[in-house]
Amino acid sequence: MRVRFRFSKVGKVRFTSHRDVARMWERAIRRTGLPVTYSAGFAPRPQMSFGLALPTGCSSLAEYVDVELGERDASGQDTIEQDPAGLPEALTAVLPVGVRVEQAGPVAAGTGSLQEAVTCCRWALAIEGGDVADLARRVALLLESEVLRVVRERKGREVLDDLRPSVRRLWVEPDPVSWGRGPVVVLDAELATQPRGVRPTELVRALEHVGAPGNVNRRPSRRVDGSAVAGGGPEGTLVLSHACRIEQWIEQDGDRRAPLEPEGAPSGRCSARRALERAGCT
Amino acid sequence: MAREMQSLWPEIEPLLGRVSKPARYIGGEQGAVSPVHGDEAVSWLLAYPDTYEIGLPNQGLQILYEILNERHDAVAERTYAPWIDMEAEMRAAGVPLFSLENHFPAGVFDILAFNLSAELVFTNVVNLIDLAGLPVRAAERTRSETLVVAGGHCAFNPEPLADFVDCFVLGDGEEVVGEITETFAAWRRGAGPTPPGAPPASRQALLRRLSLLDGVYVPSCYEPQYRQCEDGSPVLDSLVPRYPETPSRVDKRVIADLAEWPYPRRQLVPLIEVVHDRLNVELFRGCTRGCRFCQAGMITRPVRERPAAQVEAMVAQGVARTGYDEVALTSLSSADYSGIEDVVARVMEGAECTGQLSISLPSLRVDAFTVGTAAQIQRARRTGLTFAPEGGTWRMRQVINKLITEEDLYAAVDAAFSQGWRRVKLYFLTGLPTETDEDTLGIVQLAAACVEIGRRYHPTVTVTASVGGFVPKAQTPFQWFGQDTVEELERKIRLLKEAARGVRGLSLRWHDPAATVVEGIASRGDRRIGGVIERVWRSGGTFQEWSEQFRLDRWTDALHAEGLSLEDVAYRQRGPDELLPWDHLSAGLHRDFLWQEWEEALGARGLEDCRWTPCYDCGACTGSGVEHVVASAIPPAGGSQGTGQDLTTGGRVPVRFVSRTPSGVPPVGAVGDELAVSVGERRA
């Protein structure tokens, strides 16, 4: 059977990479003794499938992984049934500090992979380099733009992409929060992940260049905290101090839902500000 | 000495978004602790002077980390060398070296203790002392500043670091770290006897008290004196104890019984990928195979095996605790462990319930029997097997006492290829004493013959011959040898490349000869190398074991500026009467034994393993009152490397050394004048 887990990744552990997280999960699953199925071949690996990679340095309240449990008999039928209820606690106990399993639930056989299914993510972005009014102005300009060109490198070649269709929603929290070296402005952003997603750093670069027609955002930094990138746009340098993924959504036929249905009564929407607090960044 | 303890994390965190592999700096590994520092507890910062990925798996550091944190009077945290990008960020932001557990600045710790596993990290040691905010020279540190300690294999010639490190520890650290802790605590409390003439609270008093501990060497308690050679260049004449209580010789520490030290109990599981990323369980310490080039084998004697039941328990508990699916049973020659097959079989049995456990035996012995064991345990991933014949001809292997016959090697390789392996890697050394071009070229001949054997089983086998340049090490029979020059090593590699060209299936790899020679500077230099290391460090030469960071000219310029040369330090053959910079430090081996072994080497005569033959009194057991702890008196089956070999016939030595020695000392190695060729002429 396939079990889907939602987990958070906050605090110092957010500086590990997507691959590191996969290896943490492998070891954690072996330690719990869960009957995970292994791939065939010379180097059998536990069968797990992670969703969209979280950039190194970003935190998240909504990461997902699918794990295949049990053994299949010749007809492809699961030979065991696992009650996922106790799994979050058991796994959290053996995962590193900062990785917390929030929820587990069975996934119907034949469900598409997380990677393909998820179409949109919501982010809380902590920005330095401008005040709330400045960011609000830039956001308004960005949303009015018809195209947001960005130069990306693909297969060793530079290509021009348009970010604009991927920026679904974007707004500024009315009050700055205190983070690290000082106050940051909090952006709440819904960014599409398909066909090509927008990285939080790319969005911030776009905000630097917004309103400068024809100006192209070149070579965005791949990391959070873009302060190492020289220059900045004509609108001045913005620094993405932190990015926290708050939600992931699967959109289908105008409907949108989380990869795991929330347990119990639907909880209130988590504000970007609150998300940053939970990520241990305030 | 209540120093202010405040986490640097708020200052570190903003730097991490801008550096490669930021998780190197976050800590949080499974098995790590967050010790609470008290005013009383002596705080240790254990440092590995290389990257996190190289340093984290180091078992010595992990063992001491646990032992110290189990004590009520000590706390220990860890640190590693920040990579160049992080160091630049730290220096720009004014962030000093910090610990990974509490992210405390290094300077608030009582003791900064380095693990010295390799000579090329010496400039990193100086860099880390500087990053800690301490004066790099020990003599300039004040009473309240952190004590800098170092141990590990390179401590057996610590003189190149004598200017920077307050005290060195020789040998096993398990017991002595406790004694250092207690001595430090007593000194700080103002308790206990003070050496005559030293103010009780002074740093000198602390150092002199530490110098009285067995296995602790305090370089500032010894005054070096130099004299002129005939040609005017200075050589070390004496190292005179400065104080009445200073011991004239420091002996290494040896723990008698590994069974009493089942560490690490809580091996650290890193969050990022590191080298040797698996559970490691130490089978035994020490090796008496007697390979004459091998410093590790010489300085870790006697052999002390861990009881089989304890090994099995450590594996079972370790796997359950860590979630690793691979365990390495480590030692200098794991197949020599008494009853290794039984241990492996029981570990496999125990793993049946959990499944998916693979076992690896690093340092395979070269024989078919050992491959059989490897085949048993590597059922899953049969990618490559590595053997280390080290020398290209039987004569060469007799010189180095790595007594593997061609038949042993071919049988091992045959067994490997016939049982499904497709890649075999062979380790060789070049630049060995008495090595002729015939010996050098023997490397390619052996490797090519191995390819031929593999072809019988599979059309596309590969054999990799990995050739390292030989670096003579302190406390070994080859400590007197004049190392091959960069040019000579380059010439030999060219020979090998030409010979290997066109041999299908053979791939040749080699180490940079320049790095080999620089390693030789650090491995046998005296205190004057301290100035060289400081200059190289000041010119930006850190991470010297990383080829992209290494530049020979930094070293030759620094040598020149210090009035030294490669000839003085590396290339020069030493004579029997010359004082070696480490002669006041003992790994337990009699100097006479080492010299005799040097002469036996030049006569190409092998020496059997004393585990299964009568004692030849190397000094390791008799001197320390410790004996071999070996469960079986029967040599391992498969018998190579000193068991069942005919060792009586020494070969003729075709090369005679002409060395430059201090006046009045006859040249060494004058064992025949068949080919009166000097090292220098061989180069030409």
B253 is a domain residue: no
**Residue A233: strand pairing partners:** A236
**Residue B547: strand pairing partners:** none
Candidates B26, B269, B322, B381, partner chain A, best to mutate (most A CBs within 10 A)? B26
Query: B569, B596, B624: which is the final residue of a domain?
Result: B624
* B23: nearest CB among A20, A44, A224: A20
Across the interface, whether the CB atoms of B322 and A29 are under 8 A apart is answered no
CA dist A141 → A190, A201, A211, B626 (Å): 17, 18, 6, 80
* pLDDT interval class at B643 (50, 70, 90): very low
Question: DSSP for A241-273?
Answer: EEEEEEEEEEEETTEEE-SSPPSSSPPPPPPHH
Specify the DSSP class assigned to residue A13: G
B410: Cβ–Cβ under 8 A, 6 or more apart, which residues? B449, B450, B453
Across the interface, whether the CB atoms of A42 and B325 are under 8 A apart is answered no
- B18 CB within 8 Å of a chain A CB: yes
- B504 CB within 8 Å of a chain A CB: no
Size of interface A-B (CB pairs under 8 A): 82
CA dist B224 → B138, B220, B343, B554, B654 (Å): 16, 10, 50, 26, 38
Sign, CA dihedral B436-B440-B445-B450, equals: positive
Distance (Å) from the alpha carbon of A144 to chain B's nearest alpha carbon: 31
Note the pLDDT of residue B349: 82
CA–CA dist A87, A105 (Å, integer)? 9
B559: Cβ–Cβ under 8 A, 6 or more apart, which residues? B521, B532, B565, B566, B569
- Percent of chain B clearing pLDDT 90 (strictly above): 76
CA–CA dist A166, A161 (Å, integer)? 11
Note the pLDDT of residue B3: 58
CA–CA dist A55, B613 (Å, integer)? 60
Note the pLDDT of residue B625: 78
Please name which of B215, B288, B217 lies closest in space to residue B255, comparing C-alpha atoms. Answer: B215
DSSP element (H, E) containing B432: none
B174 is a domain residue: yes
**What CATH number is given to the structural domain containing B156?**
3.40.50.280
Ranges A191-205, B369-383, B648-662, most confident: A191-205
Residues B486 and B352 occupy one common structural domain: yes
pLDDT tens string B393-435: 999 999 999 998 999 899 989 988 988 889 999 999 999 999 9
Across the interface, whether the CB atoms of A15 and B356 are under 8 A apart is answered no
- The region that residue A227 occupies, defined by phi over 0 for left and psi between -120 and 50 for alpha, beta otherwise, is alpha
Helices (H) and strands (E) in chain B, counts: 22, 19
**Residue B426: strand pairing partners:** B387, B465
Structural domain range at position A189: 120-278
Query: A60, A94, A117: which is the final residue of a domain?
Result: A117
* B23: nearest CB among A16, A223, A228: A16
Note the pLDDT of residue B653: 39
Query: A117, A149, A167: which is the final residue of a domain?
Result: A117
Span of B171-175, B187-191, B453-457, B659-663 with lowest mean pLDDT: B659-663
- Determine the average pLDDT of the residues in A85-111: 92
Q: ∠B312-B314-B317 over CA atoms, to 5°?
A: 105
- Determine the average pLDDT of the residues in B503-529: 96
Neighbours of B301 (CB within 10 A): 26
pLDDT tens string B114-163: 999 999 999 999 999 999 999 999 999 999 999 999 999 999 999 999 99
- Determine the average pLDDT of the residues in B666-672: 36
The answer to whether B289 and B343 have CB atoms below 8 angstroms apart is no
B660 is a domain residue: no
DSSP element (H, E) containing A191: strand A182-192
Q: What is the mean pLDDT of chain A?
A: 84
- Determine the average pLDDT of the residues in A251-266: 81
Note the pLDDT of residue B361: 83
Note the pLDDT of residue B146: 98
**CA diameter of chain B:** 76
Residues A20 and A107 occupy one common structural domain: yes
The answer to whether B97 and B105 have CB atoms below 8 angstroms apart is yes
* B16: nearest CB among A23, A27, A57: A57
Note the pLDDT of residue A75: 61
3-state secondary structure at position B114: strand
Structure tokens at B584: 């006041």
Candidates B15, B266, B271, partner chain A, best to mutate (most A CBs within 10 A)? B271
Phi, psi of B444 (to 5 degrees): -70, -40
* pLDDT interval class at A268 (50, 70, 90): low
Distance (Å) from the alpha carbon of B26 to chain A's nearest alpha carbon: 6
Please name which of B445, B449, B440 lies closest in space to residue B494, comparing C-alpha atoms. Answer: B440
CA–CA dist A225, B511 (Å, integer)? 39
- B312 CB within 8 Å of a chain A CB: no
**What CATH number is given to the structural domain containing A83?**
3.30.70.580
**What CATH number is given to the structural domain containing B420?**
3.80.30.20
3-state secondary structure at position B624: helix
B184: Cβ–Cβ under 8 A, 6 or more apart, which residues? B42, B110, B111, B147, B206, B210
Span of A37-41, A116-120, B174-178, B505-509 with lowest mean pLDDT: A37-41
B276: Cβ–Cβ under 8 A, 6 or more apart, which residues? B57, B328
Please name which of B57, B52, B20 lies closest in space to residue B268, comparing C-alpha atoms. Answer: B57
Percent composition of chain B: helix, strand, coil (DSSP 3-state, to 5): 40, 15, 50
Residues A106 and A127 occupy one common structural domain: no
Note the pLDDT of residue A77: 58
Note the pLDDT of residue A225: 45
Return the higher-pLDDT residue of B609 and B218. B218
Note the pLDDT of residue A74: 56
- B382 CB within 8 Å of a chain A CB: yes
Candidates B7, B11, B13, partner chain A, best to mutate (most A CBs within 10 A)? B13
Residues A155 and A248 occupy one common structural domain: yes
B639 is a domain residue: no
Cis peptide before B302 (omega within 30 of 0): yes
CA–CA dist B289, B354 (Å, integer)? 36
Beta strands in B116-189 (DSSP E): 147-151, 167-169
CA–CA dist B458, B447 (Å, integer)? 16
A24 pLDDT above the threshold of 90: yes
Span of B26-40, B377-391, B575-589 with lowest mean pLDDT: B377-391
- B105 CB within 8 Å of a chain A CB: no
CA–CA dist A227, B486 (Å, integer)? 44
CA–CA dist A258, B50 (Å, integer)? 44
A236: Cβ–Cβ under 8 A, 6 or more apart, which residues? A129, A130, A208
Residues A135 and A236 occupy one common structural domain: yes
pLDDT tens string A132-186: 999 999 999 999 988 888 888 888 888 888 899 999 999 999 998 887 777 899 9
B348 is a domain residue: yes
B76 is a domain residue: yes
Residues A36 and A111 occupy one common structural domain: yes
Rounded to a whole number of angstroms, the CA Rg of chain A reads 20
Query: A60, A95, A117: which is the final residue of a domain?
Result: A117
* A30: nearest CB among B17, B28, B325: B325
- Determine the average pLDDT of the residues in A118-122: 94
Structure tokens at B308: 């089989």
pLDDT tens string B227-238: 987 777 788 999
B631 is a domain residue: no
Residues A88 and A140 occupy one common structural domain: no
CA–CA dist B541, B533 (Å, integer)? 9
Number of independent structural domains in chain A? 2
Residues B563 and B488 occupy one common structural domain: yes
Note the pLDDT of residue A36: 86
Residues B215 and B301 occupy one common structural domain: no
Please name which of A282, A271, A83 lies closest in space to residue A189, comparing C-alpha atoms. Answer: A271
- B273 CB within 8 Å of a chain A CB: yes
Residues A183 and A216 occupy one common structural domain: yes
Question: DSSP for B456-516?
Answer: TT-TT-EEEEEEEE----TTSGGGG--PPPHHHHHHHHHHHHHHHTT-TTEEEEE--HHHH
* pLDDT interval class at B586 (50, 70, 90): very high
Query: B221, B242, B261: which is the final residue of a domain?
Result: B221
- Percent of chain A clearing pLDDT 90 (strictly above): 45
Residues A19 and A154 occupy one common structural domain: no
Rounded to a whole number of angstroms, the CA Rg of chain B reads 25
Residues A33 and A77 occupy one common structural domain: yes
A231 pLDDT above the threshold of 60: no
Candidates A12, A42, A242, partner chain B, best to mutate (most B CBs within 10 A)? A12
Residues A214 and A193 occupy one common structural domain: yes
Number of independent structural domains in chain B? 2
Helix B203-210 with B176-189: angle, nearest 10 deg:
150
Residues B187 and B308 occupy one common structural domain: no
Q: What is the mean pLDDT of chain B?
A: 89
Span of B69-83, B334-348, B423-437, B507-521 with lowest mean pLDDT: B334-348
Neighbours of B362 (CB within 10 A): 14
Residues B202 and B319 occupy one common structural domain: no
Note the pLDDT of residue A71: 65
Across the interface, whether the CB atoms of A31 and B323 are under 8 A apart is answered yes
Residues B216 and B314 occupy one common structural domain: no
The answer to whether B24 and B53 have CB atoms below 8 angstroms apart is yes
The answer to whether A131 and A185 have CB atoms below 8 angstroms apart is yes
Please name which of A207, A199, A201, A190 lies closest in space to residue A247, comparing C-alpha atoms. Answer: A190
Q: State ipTM.
A: 0.88
Across the interface, whether the CB atoms of A44 and B380 are under 8 A apart is answered yes
* pLDDT interval class at B371 (50, 70, 90): confident
B372 pLDDT above the threshold of 90: no
Residues A231 and A250 occupy one common structural domain: yes
Residues A84 and A136 occupy one common structural domain: no
Query: B581, B608, B624: which is the final residue of a domain?
Result: B624
Structure tokens at B421: 């392996």
Residues B313 and B201 occupy one common structural domain: no
Phi, psi of B316 (to 5 degrees): -60, -45
B575 pLDDT above the threshold of 70: yes
B681 is a domain residue: no
Distance (Å) from the alpha carbon of A63 to chain B's nearest alpha carbon: 17
Residues B518 and B412 occupy one common structural domain: yes
Note the pLDDT of residue A37: 86
CA–CA dist A244, B342 (Å, integer)? 52
- Cβ-count burial of B415 within 10 angstroms (0-12 exposed, 13-18 middle, 19+ buried)? buried
3-state secondary structure at position B665: coil
Three-state secondary structure string covering B543-601: CCCCHHHCCHHHHHHHHHHCCCCHHHHHHCCCCCCCCCCCCCEECCCCHHHHHHHHHHH
Task: Tell me the CB-side half-sphere exposure of residue B525, using CA atoms within 13 A.
Answer: 27
* pLDDT interval class at B683 (50, 70, 90): very low
Phi, psi of B132 (to 5 degrees): -70, -10
Note the pLDDT of residue B262: 96
Residues B65 and B147 occupy one common structural domain: yes
Residues B282 and B209 occupy one common structural domain: no
Contacts of A56 in chain B (CB under 8 A): 22-23
* pLDDT interval class at B656 (50, 70, 90): very low
Phi, psi of A29 (to 5 degrees): -65, -40
Q: Give the distance, in angstroms, between the CA of residue B644 and the centroid of all CA atoms in the same chain.
A: 29
Please name which of B407, B370, B363, B402 lies closest in space to residue B386, comparing C-alpha atoms. Answer: B363
Structural domain range at position B579: 278-624
Structure tokens at B221: 């308690």
